[in-house]
Homo-oligomer: A and B are copies of this chain.
Amino acid sequence: MSDRPTAPVPPRLAGWEHRTEMPLLLASLVYLAGYAVHVLVPRPTEPWRDITLVLVGVTWLLFAADYGVRLHLSGQGRRFVRTHWLDTLILLLPPLRPLRVVQLYTRVQLHRERPRLSLHARVMAYAGTSALLLGFSASLAVYQQERGVPDSTIRTFGDALWWACATLTTVGYGDAVPVTLLGRVIAAGLMACGLALLGAVTGSFSSWLVQTFARQEDKRPPESE
């Protein structure tokens, strides 16, 4: 979050980041899918739950290893932790992983060809996709916490998705609300992230609409007056 141009990336680190982009993107998707299956598959089907738990663990280790290698290659030591605070946070709080998926996907796209979308459209796509994935991730986590609790209003995964929608858009009906401590902590995190991300979507949409109307005006043939 610094305005000044960051220090040049060492060539070995740049090479590592380039080579690991695609595998990490796949690992992120495997992580999300594994976690989803782990939560949503019914209890008795034990083998699946174990397999997905292993998958989630392995992908987490992959991310930890990647973080360690980059920390080493950067030659920055402790400063790396601060300048890459988002990576650090995501390593410690796995439900934030969706932010990494979008980040990696954006980088992969960047190498392929010039993006066809305008600046505002790209911000909307990035923030919107992050918000959607975060909402999905939070729905899984909250559903895992709340489903067994007696007074819970979040009984099915559909309820959890509905709750995530109402929370991300700050509508907040209150018909499905987490009641456990951990559920509320996840909810507070979703509120904070969602507010900022959806604010960015709304703001960019507004700017894009104003731009479109301004261009439309210019395009009109002057003789039509």
Question: Is B1's CB under 8 angstroms from A210's CB?
Answer: no
> For A196, what are the chain B residues with a Cβ–Cβ distance below 8 Å?
201-202, 205-206
A190 to chain B minimum Cβ distance, whole angstroms, is 10
A130 to chain B minimum Cβ distance, whole angstroms, is 10
> For A113, what are the chain B residues with a Cβ–Cβ distance below 8 Å?
225
Q: Does A7 contact B (CB under 8 A)?
A: no
Q: Tell me which of A166, A177, A205 has the highest count of chain B C-beta atoms within 10 A of its own C-beta.
A: A166
The one of B171, B195, B200 that contacts A167, using a Cβ cutoff of 8 Å: B171
Question: Is B202's CB under 8 angstroms from A110's CB?
Answer: no
Q: Considering the complex, give the chain B residue whose CB is closest to the CB of A120.
A: B210
Interface segment among A34-42, A69-77, A139-147, A213-221: the answer is A213-221
A82 to chain B minimum Cβ distance, whole angstroms, is 9
Mask, A125-138, CB within 8 Å of B = 1, is: 01100000000000
> What are 12 A-to-B residue pairs whose CB atoms are below 8 Å?
A3-B118, A119-B210, A127-B209, A166-B172, A169-B191, A170-B171, A172-B174, A175-B177, A196-B201, A196-B202, A200-B209, A202-B203
